[in-house]
Structure 1
């Protein structure tokens, strides 16, 4: 009897005091080895959840995300965005089951809201226009954050097509002051960097369509982005754009890079520097040209070939 009373007293003590994370692991380990049933279960309620509770993770996460996306308190938004991203990145085993549908539902809502704001801003005047400009920057920032989550969870492939299809958004983009619209162009550069690094894998048609829809906007806004946008890394963006362009067919590389060449001559440092991509395309086209049908070319006799630098990389990636 005295032993049982002592065990109960220990459990009551454990239930009443706070635990550090290290102590929490020890308590769970010890109590799980003891067959105490009811008393131990009450103590462990602090850290163990019912299986039915975990099935609600998607709804809880949706509520948290929606709260951040709707907030207009900038410092609080930044803090909570960093917190949520950090928690998701800790979850290497994907125990947080946030559905693809939930994230893309929020992306659709933010893009629709951004398009509405852009349309209203083109007709608004004075104070109302200024308020709409702030809304535009905030919605674009929301999309950047959602895209970061999609990339971290390796499910951003659908976003490439979604963003490539925003032709109305791209058309209205130029009518908005650059200080606000540049956040929209950052969505494009963020996506291109991820594709260029191989973090997002999608078909050639979608890659090409993104560039055709949005590259003009990136050219227009690049100077402002590198001067005014928080956390903008020029070299990373230029490298990502170059790598993405070089994944296209040669004719498409030529179209995009010849257009870049003309714009760079006009804008100089206000335009992304894609010289590396241009040099690679030039060598592929005129120096190391690969014949379309394996045969030997003209008169130079068998020439030596540069060793291939192609690398085949196997990586884990979920089916679409």
Structure 2
């Protein structure tokens, strides 16, 4: 093993570079004694070295200390996912092979100095290089700071897939004030069409976005579909069965297959709930000859609705945990009619309290789980879907807040107020004009004392700060 390391070290010192400037000497780096970072199927050496721009006051006779560097063993096939590296490795730029040189090549990449005190100057470049090899964007980009660190490097290397993933994540999640400032700094570096949705959140001119459609069914989905059906319907020990099916879904190798099966099950349960609530709200049931018969039918419908909303909540939990809840959020955001039927039911206090007392809490939990997954970036959806989600279910939240007053305080504190805060977070991700419309409908959140509605105060302060800012990315 030591012989192999010595051979690799000796070989790397003899490799010629494909870039014109020679690599700095290894002895100049604090990383000289550290092991070489290697990626799978590596066939190239890449040296990252700091490239501080010289000061005009520097003396030409004064030789600065060698800049730190980091050597990596990388795969040329993976690097070709970057248009920068693809051009660098093309036949046009590669020198002809010589018999005296090693068959493996060496590349050199200058890393700008972001801050002299930065403890990890190569971190963002290494992460982007790792993404070139793995394409694991969902596992790497988990916070706005991650996307903002990776995006400049992805732009530098013309790594289009990474740029798209960073922009999509940033567009879909809330930002802190500092993160918003970083977005404003980097937006001019982006193409106008890609920066439009980001700028729409911090300045007045809004733009539209597009959506894609879904696919067909495969035979392997039948087993998963049957397992979900068994977990939902009539098993003697439903809790244990659901836990087991949830484990199988999580461990199943094809996420696309699981996505389709859960989408189908969610749509089926949602259609059943809509049908049952539609029967309750239908005037045909109001003119039944026998009022006792009408009450019995309504009781049966409401009990069935409660059961199906419980199944719906279980499906939502699975979809959110597996990060495949995008279609569920979109469908839930379009349920204007269902939300209206629920409002009719909730205004009839005697009916739902006697027949379905748990229904408001279950519906609120479904909305909260989906909305919270959007806020923390587990589920990425377009701004149109985020806006419709708040617009469709905000009236139901307002009704639930009113009926929660005579109920125990636990329901209100753990559901309604948390959903208020989540909706306000989603509103903060919308363009200024859209946020203005929805915030005006949230004034009911202030019915408690001012000290109890700081989330609403913060939301309005954020909106006023953005509305006062000069337009970005265009003419005044």
What is the TM-score of this pair, normalised by structure 1? 0.62
> How many Å separate the matches in 1 of 2:235 and 2:302?
13
Partner in structure 1 of residue 310 of structure 2: 141
| 2:473 maps to 1:264 | no
> How many Å separate the matches in 2 of 1:294 and 1:62?
48
Deviates more, 1:202-211 or 1:169-178: 169-178
How far did residue 255 of structure 1 move? 2.2
Conservation of the 8 A alpha-carbon contact between 2:306 and 2:359: yes
Unaligned runs of 5+ in 1: 1-54, 296-320
Partner in structure 2 of residue 114 of structure 1: 273
Partner in structure 1 of residue 343 of structure 2: 174
> How many Å separate the matches in 1 of 2:408 and 2:395?
16
Partner in structure 2 of residue 249 of structure 1: 431
Partner in structure 1 of residue 244 of structure 2: 83
Q: Which has the larger radius of gyration?
A: 2
Query: Superposition pairs for residues 277-288 of structure 1, below 5 Å?
Result: 277-286=456-465
Conservation of the 8 A alpha-carbon contact between 1:136 and 1:180: no
> How many Å separate the matches in 1 of 2:412 and 2:462?
36
Deviates more, 1:58-67 or 1:273-282: 273-282
- Report SS of the residue matched to 2:378: coil
How far did residue 58 of structure 1 move? 2.9
How far did residue 252 of structure 1 move? 2.1
> How many Å separate the matches in 1 of 2:454 and 2:235?
40
Conservation of the 8 A alpha-carbon contact between 2:364 and 2:415: no
How far did residue 172 of structure 1 move? 0.9
Unaligned runs of 5+ in 2: 1-217, 286-292, 346-351
Conservation of the 8 A alpha-carbon contact between 2:339 and 2:396: yes
- Report SS of the residue matched to 1:112: helix
Distance 1:189 1:287, change over 3 A: closer
Which structure has more strand as a fraction of its residues? 2
How far did residue 210 of structure 1 move? 1.0
How far did residue 111 of structure 1 move? 1.1
How far did residue 130 of structure 1 move? 1.8
1:214 aligns with one of 393, 398, 414: 393
Distance 1:83 1:283, change over 3 A: same
Conservation of the 8 A alpha-carbon contact between 2:428 and 2:463: no
CA-based RMSD? 3.5
Query: Superposition pairs for residues 1-320 of structure 1, below 5 Å?
Result: 58-71=221-234, 76-89=237-250, 91=251, 94=253, 98-122=257-281, 123=285, 125-176=294-345, 177=352, 179-182=357-360, 183-222=362-401, 224=404, 227=409, 232=414, 236-261=418-443, 263-266=444-447, 268=448, 275-286=454-465, 289-293=468-472
> How many Å separate the matches in 1 of 2:261 and 2:254?
16
> How many Å separate the matches in 1 of 2:467 and 2:395?
30
Instruction: Give the paired residue count.
Output: 233
What is the TM-score of this pair, normalised by structure 2? 0.43
> How many Å separate the matches in 2 of 1:207 and 1:226?
30
1:61-106 Cα distance to aligned partner (Å, 9 max, x none) = 2112112222387xx33332233334444x2x73677432222111
Conservation of the 8 A alpha-carbon contact between 1:100 and 1:155: yes
1:257-304 Cα distance to aligned partner (Å, 9 max, x none) = 22211x2344x39xxx76325414324414994211589xxxxxxxxx
> How many Å separate the matches in 1 of 2:278 and 2:232?
20
How far did residue 234 of structure 1 move? 6.2
> How many Å separate the matches in 2 of 1:84 and 1:286?
48
- Report SS of the residue matched to 1:174: helix
Conservation of the 8 A alpha-carbon contact between 2:330 and 2:385: yes
Conservation of the 8 A alpha-carbon contact between 1:150 and 1:156: yes
> How many Å separate the matches in 1 of 2:277 and 2:456?
33
Partner in structure 1 of residue 63 of structure 2: none
Distance 1:94 1:276, change over 3 A: farther
